Amino acid sequence: LTYQVEKIVGDRGLTILLNNAGIYVKYYTNQEPDRDSIIRNFNTNAAGVAVLTQIFLPLLRKAAAQFSTDEFSTSRAAIVNISSGAGSISDNTTGSGTMGMLAYRISKSALNSLMKTMSIDLEQDHILVAMFCPGWVVTDMGGQNAQITVRGYYKYRLLTSLWRSWFLQSTSYQRNTMVVTSGEI
């Protein structure tokens, strides 16, 4: 996989890695233990992202090294992750709830921790690490009761503009942030 990407990007390196994989296998606190369901969520939502990101780090470093400034930007080199507010510890007010969110929540919390850790570890390489939480979107995974339709998502373009202006020229303080649909950072 890296060989194919390297053939495309050449000496420029990889400027943006967008991690957008996600799986949601229902799992409740009050159910029969099922390690496989927890591991399936974790492997896709956290471990897979960690490994894929590590695989592409040499190409991201190559892109970042072409700049002589100390800036962090998506024009230089960035790892952008689609996460979920369900991974927030402080915002968890429903537990696993009626939707069986336990395994999904812990896997997205792990993703959030992974990205915070990588943002610190990759600071010396000037690689921007950012997370974006688009909200609950109607998809095969999100279901029909989600709050945002893909078609209606265009009303959130304002948020995208905020995201772009925030991250295109980020300071080291700003790059350790998560953007959620409310526009809070």
Question: Catalytic site residue 108?
Answer: yes
Considering the candidates 24, 26, 104, 153, report the single residue annotated as catalytic: 104
| SS3 category, 6 | helix
Considering the candidates 24, 27, 62, 108, report the single residue annotated as catalytic: 108
Token reading at 43: 């492997």
Whether 170 contacts 72, CB under 8 Å: yes
Count of Cβ atoms closer than 10 Å to residue 8 Cβ: 8
Whether 29 contacts 11, CB under 8 Å: no
Question: Catalytic site residue 3?
Answer: no
Q: What are the CA-CA distances from residue 163 to residues 19, 52, 110, 135, 144 (Å)?
A: 16, 23, 23, 14, 27
- Enumerate the active-site residues: 104, 108
